[in-house]
Structure 1
Amino acid sequence: MQAIGLIETKGLITAIEAADIMLKSSDVSIVEKTYVGGGLVIVIVTGDVGSVKAAIEAGSAAVKRINPEYLISDHIMPRPSEELKTIIGPKVTVEVLKVSPCNEDVIEVESIQKEEVQSTKVAESEVKYREVQAIASQLEYIEVQSEKEVLKVEDVEPVKGLAGTKQQVKEMDLDKLHKSNIDKLVSEDGIQKAVLTLDKLKVVKLRNLAREYEDFVITGRTISKADKKILISKFKAYYEKNSKI
């Protein structure tokens, strides 16, 4: 590592004046400029020993011409350690800045890809919407009240008509289901269909419904503590048992 010289001044103007004179008077180059705080600035130059010595002398004289009190200190290091490069001189951040344009390109490509994905999803949604519209046009009109739940597509049953096969949707007020409704559903459509309907109920409704059965599989506090999965399994067991009698 070549010799280095340091000038510490008060104020940025005097530091710039010193740096200008040092560069003009000797074959040196500036390593860095550091703001110490409290208005103090340090300028570091490097070169051979003779050039650095002449530069520091010229720079110090330039500062004194402005105001002798603005020259805080100067120093020359003829043979600095190579390890000083880790604390003075250009930092690695310069190389990082060179990579930034590539990162911008990546971000731009990613944004384009996101736009393409979003446009693809919109197109798929439009296709699905048209398919639903085509199916809905074949269904009989049913007025559904605000608190009623229409059963899913699995519950759609074919109805033969003059113009071909139409679809009839069953509707059921799930909040007003009672044991008699479930009994009827089991007798007409089977246990499996009844289980699918029970699965649409909330656990509170299932517990209240279970209490309507005199000889249900579980009773009392057991019903109050049972979750939805257990209750549905007990309903299934109840009807399977009674269907064999």
Structure 2
Amino acid sequence: MKQALGLIETTGLIGAVEACDVMLKSANVQLIGKEIVGGGLVTVMIEGDVGAVKTAVDAGSSAVTRLCQNCLLSTHVIPRPDNSLADILPVNANEQQENVLAEEVLIDMTVIDELGNNNTELEEVELVITEDEQPIDIEDIQSSPSNEQPKKNSVKEQLMTFITDGNQQQAKDWLMAKKVSELRVFAKSWLNFPLSKKEVHHVSKRTLVETIITYLSKADEKEE
């Protein structure tokens, strides 16, 4: 979760839409989602740095008041909310889409790893050569530079290699170079990861990287 959570509760959807529009335009914040409680009550939620969230909530509440004095019911800013709140907050739609794309990338990486780790022998193939085609020398293919690349290790194995060698900073730099959506997919796929799936969605990238390093360091100690 970001450093602050901002909420504006309005009567009617128009006021909520106006609040969202003004908040997102007035400060560097992200929209988490909305909750329709019933009876026309709508709560919109944003996240971001403490100062940015306060600025956005103030601007949004002023805009709703100008639109309709009776539309604004309440506003609230929670600095540094506890990570457990992630269990009752909606997941950002953009994050869901990123996770779907990242999961597809992870699946592709897994397939590549499996293909790279399978030491299969070359099978003899009967080549049908037409008049316009030339025979292909399999030895030339085997000796080509593109086939001399080292086999890729899985993400976890790569990180464990860094940590086992005492290169935690190198592991951290490697993780920071990845997209946060990829890190979330990695974390959710590991057994007994200390953060829940919803917490993984809401913690900052730096916190997620530090948690991954701690998790893998403990795993390395157990193996020893």
- Find the structure with the greater CA-based Rg: 1
Scaled to the shorter chain, the TM-score interval is: 0.3 to 0.5
- More RCO (CA 8 Å, sep 6+): 2
Q: Structure 2 length as normaliser, TM-score?
A: 0.41
